[in-house]
Amino acid sequence: MNFSNSYLGLGSSFYKKEQPTAVQAPQLFLWNSQLAEQLLVSNDYQQDPITLAEIFSGNRILSGSEPIATAYAGHQFGNFVPQLGDGRAHLLGEVLDQYGKGWDIQLKGSGPTFFSRGGDGRCAIGPAVREFIMSEAMDALGIPTTRSLAVVTTGEPVFRETVLPGAVVTRVASSHIRVGTFQYFAARGDFESLKNLCDYVIERHYPELEAESPQRYIKLIDTVIEKQIRLVVEWMRVGFIHGVMNTDNTSVAGETIDYGPCAMMGVYNPGTVYSSIDRMGRYAFANQPTIMQWNMARFSECLLPLIDTDSERAIEQVQPLIVEFGNRFKQAYLQMLGRKLGLIAVQPEDEKLLFSFLNCLELGEMDYTITFDRLTKSLNSEAISDQIKEAFGEDYDLWRLRLNQQDVSIEEIYQIMKHNNPVVIPRNHHMEAVIEQCETTRDVTKAENFLKVLRSPYQEIEETSQYQDLPLDGDKYYQTFCGT
């Protein structure tokens, strides 16, 4: 791996130089060999789990890597915290993959830093495994996300509500720049750093905006909004609930980041919340677009001083983007729903039918994934078609009529639906069973089997059926916890 670290060039207000704290007995637990190939991890290392464990626990720092903990702020559940930062993570540096794309390599759980605020800087095996599996599942589903290269167990206990095995997860991301990174400098009135950050983000993520000056910052807001809309629409396509959409967990590159309390919605219910700390349902399934709009408002506020020195004039330019968010989201959301139901282009008159389908799902307490899979299969099976028709009544006939009006074959429609409706998702009860096995036996078999199936989310393989079952209690009592 050839490390560089362009983030260092931004200056010392952006980070603290920090070394990971060595762990007692690192052991490679999960390894993502496909991602390792992409990242050009040398074959010598790939054959050598002992060396990999040393590198990806933080015990051994490769030459060229200069570990840092990055500074950021953030709104947590709506409350502003002016300084958060990497309290248990080290950015090892950036590497180029085989396609020339740059990636941050970050260790999480690698020891305390300047930003730890009393935390131990460590991570338990459960949250590390959850992040690895969930992010790989999301990637396979085609949803922008950070990736996971490795989970290494540390041989040390971490003390949470109980004593748990410790682990370090290696996160691979387009970058770790968050809305909270902008807030950190805006809150300090450090507009020079803020401008440098914006220019850095444009150069690194949105180079097409370079030519846009003096409009580049407003365009940056517009582009980041577009990315976030696409992201949340994609979450909602598969029933993903992020669970902790704080501004420090909102990546300006538009990737899903931070898999702490995330979960998958089973039965379709817009109000679904699983996170134990989200008592008000702020981050409920159907609230995600509104929260993203709120996060984008916070992002835009940071950029106002760069857009115009006269704040009224700056607001005048930015406000329409925030006001329009709702409509813009709705259009993207309707197109997505349309694709789930085989519509090539959603027309305004389709809206009623699309929402009527969702309403039926909700009233009938139907499983989101299974129902759309059955609707897909109903195109090619009279038996399934007859069954599912009972659930949707005349809407089903209206839908089939609408499909027939399209100028394409049923086979083509079937393909569109197949590519938008997964046959399997990382269901919560399976995720928990896998985590429990990792915690108690340190046996990776269940995790590897789960990953194999999740890497083929649109195509049933032999083992898929073992993961399609519904939880016995309908996840009524299911709760997730922040991975701290």
Tokens encoding 245 = 């959409």
DSSP characters over 38-100:
HTT--HHHHT-HHHHHHHTTTSSPPTT---EEE---EEETTEEES----SSEEEEEEEE-TTS
Stretch that binds Mg ion, among 200-208, 258-266, 320-328, 399-407 (CB under 5 A): 258-266
- Interface residue with ligand AMP among 1, 36, 84, 105 (CB under 6 A) is 84
Long-range CB contacts for residues 479-482, cutoff 8 Å, separation at least 24:
479/274, 479/275, 479/276, 480/243, 480/260, 480/261, 480/262, 480/263, 480/274, 480/275, 480/276, 480/428, 481/260, 481/261, 481/275, 481/276, 481/277, 482/244, 482/260, 482/261, 482/275, 482/277
Q: Which of the listed partners (ligand AMP, Mg ion, none) does 325 bind, with a CB threshold of 5 to 8 Å by partner kind?
A: none
The reply on whether position 373 binds Mg ion by CB under 5 A is: no
The reply on whether position 146 binds Mg ion by CB under 5 A is: no
Question: What is the rounded CA–CA span in Å between residue 413 and residue 341?
Answer: 9
- Interface residue with ligand AMP among 15, 52, 54, 122 (CB under 6 A) is 122
Residue with tokens 């008159």: 349
Q: Which of the listed partners (ligand AMP, Mg ion, none) does 111 bind, with a CB threshold of 5 to 8 Å by partner kind?
A: none
Q: Which of the listed partners (Mg ion, ligand AMP, none) does 484 bind, with a CB threshold of 5 to 8 Å by partner kind?
A: ligand AMP
Which residues 6+ apart lie within 8 Å of 205 measured at CB?
Answer: 174, 175, 252, 253
Q: Which of the listed partners (ligand AMP, Mg ion, none) does 116 bind, with a CB threshold of 5 to 8 Å by partner kind?
A: ligand AMP
The reply on whether position 258 binds Mg ion by CB under 5 A is: yes
The reply on whether position 255 binds ligand AMP by CB under 6 A is: no
**C-beta separation of 302 from 198 below 8 A:** no
The reply on whether position 367 binds Mg ion by CB under 5 A is: no
Give catalytic status of residue 248 as yes or no: yes
Asked if the bond preceding 20 is cis, omega within 30° of 0, the reply is no
The reply on whether position 249 binds Mg ion by CB under 5 A is: yes
Neighbours of 201 (CB within 10 A): 20
Is the Cβ of residue 65 or residue 70 nearer to ligand AMP in the bound state?
70
The reply on whether position 16 binds ligand AMP by CB under 6 A is: no
Closest CB 181 distance from Mg ion, rounded Å: 12
Q: Which residues pair with 173 in a beta bridge?
A: 104
- Interface residue with ligand AMP among 49, 87, 270, 364 (CB under 6 A) is 87
- Is residue 168 packed enough to be buried (19+ CB in 10 Å), middle (13-18) or exposed (0-12)? buried
The reply on whether position 121 binds ligand AMP by CB under 6 A is: yes
Is the Cβ of residue 83 or residue 335 nearer to Mg ion in the bound state?
83
Of 248, 367, 373, 475, which is the active-site residue? Answer: 248
Is 224 strand, coil or helix? helix
The reply on whether position 484 binds ligand AMP by CB under 6 A is: yes
The reply on whether position 482 binds ligand AMP by CB under 6 A is: yes
Rg from Cα positions in the chain: 23
Stretch that binds Mg ion, among 255-263, 284-292, 315-323, 390-398 (CB under 5 A): 255-263
**C-beta separation of 123 from 287 below 8 A:** no
Is the Cβ of residue 122 or residue 430 nearer to ligand AMP in the bound state?
122
- Interface residue with ligand AMP among 20, 85, 243, 342 (CB under 6 A) is 85
The reply on whether position 120 binds ligand AMP by CB under 6 A is: yes
The reply on whether position 205 binds ligand AMP by CB under 6 A is: no
Q: Which residues pair with 241 in a beta bridge?
A: 263
Closest CB 137 distance from Mg ion, rounded Å: 19
From the list 210, 9, 7, the residue with the least C-alpha distance to 103 is: 7
Closest CB 121 distance from ligand AMP, rounded Å: 5
Q: Which residues form the catalytic set?
A: 248
Where on the chain is the footprint of ligand AMP (CB under 6 A)? 84-88, 115-116, 119-122, 248-249, 258, 260, 482, 484
Where on the chain is the footprint of Mg ion (CB under 5 A)? 249, 258
